[in-house]
Homo-oligomer: A and B are copies of this chain.
Amino acid sequence: MAREPIGIREVARAAGVSTSTVSNVINGRDDKMRAETRSRVLEAIQTLRYTPNTAAQQLKSGHATTIGLIIPSTANPFWGAVAHHVERAARQSGYRVLICNAERDPVEEARYAEMLLASGTQAIILASSPLSFDHFHHLMERGLKLAAFDQRVRDMTGGITCSVSVDQEMGGMLAAQHLLGLGHRRIGVVTGPIKTNSRIGRVNGIRTALSRAGIDLPDSLIWQGGGVIGFGDMEGSELGRVGVRELLSRDEPPTAILTGNDMYALGAYAGARDLGYRVPDDISIVGFDDIVLSEIVQPPLTTIRQPVSAMADTIVRLLIRHIEQPTGTDAESFISVAPQLIVRGSTASPRTVLKSQGVS
């Protein structure tokens, strides 16, 4: 093993310049030296395989070129896709991404954020869309920038610097309208606890669409799985399964079910099958997210697509702008993009016969 570590000093010696010049080369202050000097330094860097010590850079500058990303789950490929795209976008701007999986637990989230701040991260993208950012307040006071993914923030009063989200209400409306158009009148909802802004938005959208059609959404048709706190999507598919079984066992079961995300929807398939219902003949199911699996399963899932790649690009761009020039901050920092209804095979018109008795 090569023992003596290569630092800026070794490079300087090899190139016959001072460490300051090497530093200038690294940081692109090309106007401070001749091209010949610069290339000599570059060559030394190359041959010595020098990489700047980020700890030292960070200690000097006071911050790291790092963005934290706190996601609610690693079991749902949707968040895997989000992480992947955020990471790609950030890297193009020279930033690294630290991915943390907090299972939507505020305590975990705060612990991660604390850790990230201590390691020099200036900004965090939070994807859990909690009702309150209280657990981040004292961190924001210490200068941490917070971006909200998956929920719309209205303005900076809460301390959030920017947000990018699909229009959750619109997503809920698209899904509900699709079912209404097919003739469904009794529609159930299977989701995790409606205690995050994203879920509240979606359910509001559903409710709006239904009420416009003169239909009520009784609480008895909304099934919320998972504990009050500390739940993830880890068992999203399991929850979907249980939820659908419960809804379909009601006195007057729904003819269609809107789920909180595609993993719930896949679980919903299983729950429906458990009771002998066929999708979409006996029950229609709509997902949310449009993960890759959605077009693979049988029947292919009708769902609401989130343009993940574009959303990731946008939030990274906004956040980096805020980091690098914390000037103007208002409008255009709180973005809401349109979701898209993807109609596949899991929805159909309701069967009017056999309305209130299981097929099983």
Q: What are the interface flags for A5-19 relative to B under an 8 Å C-beta threshold, 1 for contact and 0 otherwise?
A: 100000000000000
In the complex, A54 has a CB within 8 A of chain B = yes
Say yes or no: A237 contacts B293, CB within 8 Å. Answer: yes
> Given contacts A75-B81, A84-B74, A84-B101, is CB(A266)–CB(B237) below 8 Å?
no
Q: Are A266 and B293 in contact (CB under 8 A)?
A: yes
Q: Knowing A59-B53, A266-B296 are in contact, say whether A101-B75 is a contact too (CB < 8 A).
A: no
Q: When the two chains form their complex, are residues B81 and A74 in contact, meaning their CB atoms are under 8 A apart? A: yes
CB-contacts of A117-142 with B (<8 A) = 117-120, 138, 140-142
B-facing residues in A217-242 (Cβ within 8 Å): 234-235, 237-238, 241
Interface membership of chain A positions 81-109, coded 1 if the CB is closer than 8 angstroms to chain B and 0 otherwise: 10110010000000010110100000000
Q: Is the CB of A77 closer than 8 A to any CB of chain B?
A: yes
State which size class the interface on A falls in.
35 or more
Bound-state Cα–Cα, A73 to B76, Å: 13
A59 and chain B: residue at smallest CB distance = B55
User: Could you say which residues of chain B place their CB within 8 Å of the CB of A119?
Assistant: 54-55, 96
Q: Contacts A55-B58, A59-B53, A120-B54 known; A270 to B292 CB distance under 8 Å?
A: no
In the complex, A46 has a CB within 8 A of chain B? no
Q: Which residues of B contact A64 (CB under 8 A)?
A: 55
Give CA–CA (A134, B266) in the complex, Å: 41
In the complex with contacts A75-B80, A75-B81, A84-B101, A237-B56 CB distance below 8 A: no
- Identify A51's interface contact among B52, B56, B118, CB under 8 A: B118
20 contacts between A and B (CB under 8 A): A1-B141, A51-B114, A51-B117, A51-B118, A54-B119, A55-B119, A74-B77, A74-B81, A74-B84, A75-B77, A75-B84, A77-B77, A84-B101, A237-B292, A237-B293, A266-B297, A269-B297, A270-B296, A293-B293, A298-B298
